[in-house]
Amino acid sequence: MAKSIANTTILVYNDTNLGLALDATINGGTIPTTTLTFSPGCRMVDLSTGIVSINAGTAVTPRWEQQKISTTVSLTAAQVIAMYTTPVAIVDAVPGKAIIVDSMDMVVTRTSTAFTGGGVVAVQYANTANGGGTATTATIATSVITGTVGVSYTARIPVVQSDIATASITGIGLFISNATAAFAAGTGTAVVNVTYHLV
């Protein structure tokens, strides 16, 4: 059912026997905090952005917390080799929102044909070659890519972002690239997982 709350249309899909919303959607705008409207734990999806928020407060005083989003991208050997000059998209830009990385992990499957060359790897804002974008995570050592045959797991925490101009991160996607030089020769693959939220 559709409800107009604080001049915003909310579609409520499930509610409690007291009429408090359990699952709802909004299409842009600010999620209302109207008293006795949303159950604790109510899940709100903004259809315009895909952002999911949960009422972490009470029915009397709703407090919306954005849920983290996770995306996984598989990289071929050709993409690993080319990402120095052609960064690979990890998270598409969200118009009007900044992507804030919470964590990143990479699983590299190395074959008997090892990668050579290269430089440190990072997930960055923007499609900037040679790892020249603003890094979102601590870098991954070259040896993680060029190591001996086998599967390698690496996790990285986000770097501290401070006083960044909105034009530098708002509406800009995330890409993976590396510094120094291109990797070469290898036939391995990688899987990158990034967990993030939007502001």
Least reliable range by pLDDT among 15-19, 50-54, 174-178 = 15-19
Would you state the structure tokens that stand for residue 46, as one six-digit string?
Answer: 């903004």
Check whether 72 has a pLDDT greater than 90. Answer: yes
**How high is the pLDDT of residue 12?**
72
Domains of the chain, by residue range, sit at 2-66, 69-198
pLDDT of amino acid 97: 85
Whole-number average pLDDT of the chain? 91
Average pLDDT over every residue of 119-140:
95
Cα–Cα distance measured from residue 87 to residue 122, given in angstroms and rounded to the nearest whole number: 10
Closest CA to 141 of 115, 122, 168: 122
Is the pTM here over 0.95, yes or no? no
145-162: per-residue pLDDT in tens?
A: 999 999 999 999 999 988
Asked if pLDDT for residue 7 goes beyond 60, the answer is no
Strands 52-55 vs 64-66: parallel, antiparallel or unpaired: antiparallel
Strand order in the sheet with 134-135: 88-91, 174-178, 121-125, 134-135
Q: Mean pLDDT across the stretch 137-144?
A: 96
